[in-house]
Amino acid sequence: MIENLLESINNRVALYNEGIDENVHIYEIAILLKNLHDEDEELYTQTLETLPKEILAEVLLEMPQQHMEEAYEQLGAEGLANLASELDTDDAADLIQHIEEVNEELAEEVLSKLPEEERATIETLISYDENEAGAYMQTELFEARADESVGESIKRLRAMKAEELIDNVHQVFIVDKHRRLIGAILLEDLILHEPDEMYRDIMHDGHNTVHVHAHDPIYDVVEVFANYNLNTLAVVDDNQILLGRITADDIHDVMEERATEQIYHMAGVNEDAEEDEEFWSIGKTRAIWLAINLVTAIAASVVIGMFDATIEAIVALAILMPIVASMGGNAGTQTLTVTVRKIALGEIEGKEAYTTVKREVLLALFNGFIFALVIGAVAYLWFKIPLLGLVIALSMIINLFFAGFFGTLIPLGLRRAGIDPAIGSTVILTTVTDVVGFLSFLGLATLILL
């Protein structure tokens, strides 16, 4: 097994390093190294030392957090500085920030060993807030002056590619003499022009002028990428001076992180804690949300306790009671999930909030009436008590109405309060549907059946 892993790693490294097979990807090498780590840590460490630094730099970013931290100790400041120099500026900044989270002194030492210009660039990138566009941009890009010819710029691009100073080039950014952004032209459009044509003569309204500012929220940038179907996006400062570019792979990572974060939050789980190796740290953060859930469950039980005499008189209520709460909870979760997703995508603004609430309430009522008829008939056939079917049918309609209403209102209210809608929404909604479900069902049963 180990021999096969080593052979596969060496073969892929050779193919990737020599550019023989373009289908070999860094990710494949990283996966093989992870498997080798699981089989033999000492051999894994030795293999890392034999990897060319340009490959190791890329592989390190694909490794799990624990493996990265082990590599930091193994490589030391000098080795990490060499790796950072092999990466694009955005990836180098990510690497330095991650090292800083583990060992602040080591991060400072790594920065001190970088060339002055490179260090200044990385320090600028890591100075941006993690939710700003500037934190995700890279400074390597293909730009051309408006008074430059197409042929001259392409010659310069060839030299940059030969020296491996840039990759993933999709377009040329056109700037004026002060480096203010004018627009961008896709490379596939650029080949339609003659080498002696000047950029100022070929720029027109059809060329891309979409851009973002360095301090724009990164989730706004995600929307721009989605709306305009972009591969690359220019980043400028307040004076429209071109600073760098954000590429689609970075946006993919942002979307993945956002999706993971929301899934964790909706489950009442802390993302940072889950990445912690400490058993007690993970257990503590989960316990907090479970404690909150326990309080809400007690609240629902208190409601049930208010009608103990009714339940004692009609045992069938205890059998049917979970159905009302369960249906309300599931209907509310459906509404909540749709609403949180729309908020995340920026699809609910102003009057759209009212439209969303109205639509979800109507959908909940539609389903409420359908399942009210179904469960009403089932209750009647099951217990042969005609009015019992009416009670559970009315309760079903009431609970699904509240599930739809609060399933949209809770996340919208949390957003208005400046709180992530995914955090706590599920716990609050569950409390509402349980309390309303039990209260309506047992309350109606007390009024109608006794």
Report domain extents, the chain.
Answer: 2-127, 143-247, 271-449
Task: Give the right CATH number for 143-247 from 1.20.120.1200, 3.30.70.890, 3.10.580.10, 3.40.50.12280.
Answer: 3.10.580.10
Q: Which two tokens stand for residue 142?
A: 């293909």
For the cut 90, the answer to whether the pLDDT of residue 35 exceeds it is no
pLDDT in tens, 151-175: 999 999 999 988 888 888 889 999 9
Please determine, looking at this structure, whether the domain spanning 271-449 carries the CATH number 3.40.710.10.
Answer: no
Burial class (CB in 10 A: 0-12, 13-18, 19+), 406: buried
pLDDT in tens, 406-443: 989 888 888 787 777 766 677 788 888 888 999 999 99
CA-to-CA distance for 158 and 151, rounded, in angstroms?
11
For the cut 80, the answer to whether the pLDDT of residue 351 exceeds it is no
Give the per-residue pLDDT at 1: 66
Average pLDDT, integer, range 239-248: 93
Give the per-residue pLDDT at 17: 63
For the cut 90, the answer to whether the pLDDT of residue 211 exceeds it is yes
For the cut 70, the answer to whether the pLDDT of residue 266 exceeds it is no
17 vs 81 pLDDT, higher one: 81
Instruction: Yes or no: say if 309 and 186 are a contact pair by the CB < 8 Å rule.
Output: no
**What one-letter code names the amino acid at 437?**
G
Q: Which strand (E) or helix (H) includes residue 143?
A: strand 143-145
Average pLDDT, integer, range 270-289: 58
For the cut 90, the answer to whether the pLDDT of residue 179 exceeds it is yes
450 vs 391 pLDDT, higher one: 391
Instruction: Yes or no: say if 61 and 69 are a contact pair by the CB < 8 Å rule.
Output: no
Q: Choose the weakest-confidence range: 162-166, 202-206, 354-358, 365-369.
A: 202-206
**Unique residue bearing structure tokens 């030492």:** 109
Average pLDDT, integer, range 69-95: 87
For the cut 90, the answer to whether the pLDDT of residue 401 exceeds it is yes
Q: Choose the weakest-confidence range: 156-165, 271-280, 294-303.
A: 271-280
pTM for the structure as a whole:
0.65
**What one-letter code names the amino acid at 148?**
E
Give the per-residue pLDDT at 108: 92
Class of domain 2-127: mainly alpha
Closest to 28 measured CA to CA, from 13, 18, 38: 13
Q: Which two tokens stand for residue 179?
A: 């480096």
76 vs 205 pLDDT, higher one: 76
Q: Specify whether the backbone of 305 is left (phi greater than 0), alpha (psi in -120 to 50) or beta.
A: alpha
Percent share of the chain, pLDDT over 70: 87
For the cut 50, the answer to whether the pLDDT of residue 43 exceeds it is yes
221 vs 337 pLDDT, higher one: 221
Give the per-residue pLDDT at 272: 52
